[in-house]
Amino acid sequence: KTTTQMIANEANLPKSNIHYYYRSKKDLLEAVLERILAMWLASVSQFTLEDGPRKNLTRYISEKIHQLRINVSASKVFAMALIGE
């Protein structure tokens, strides 16, 4: 439902700048989702065999909750993409 012009307005960019880097809204959405996943999965790289599952998962969940608090929009965008909105 969001237009490229609406995205450009929100980002304070000319619409042509968005189209220069992304051929379609789908390409832009994929780039945004890739960034969100990279941010969320960064804490997984800290997993170690020595720490074991409990400590690793506790660290991951704690980091995920922290990310949710500081970047609510990321979770909203990801959820909406999953349900196809």
The predicted structure's pLDDT at residue 68: 85
- % pLDDT > 70, the chain: 99
pLDDT tens digit sequence for 41-60: 887 888 889 999 999 999 88
* Distance between CA atoms of residues 79 and 85, nearest Å: 9
Contact criterion met (CB below 8 Å) for 8 and 17: yes
- Domains held by the chain: number: 1
Confidence of residue 9 (pLDDT cuts 50, 70, 90): very high
Structural domain that includes position 22: 4-83
Confidence of residue 39 (pLDDT cuts 50, 70, 90): confident
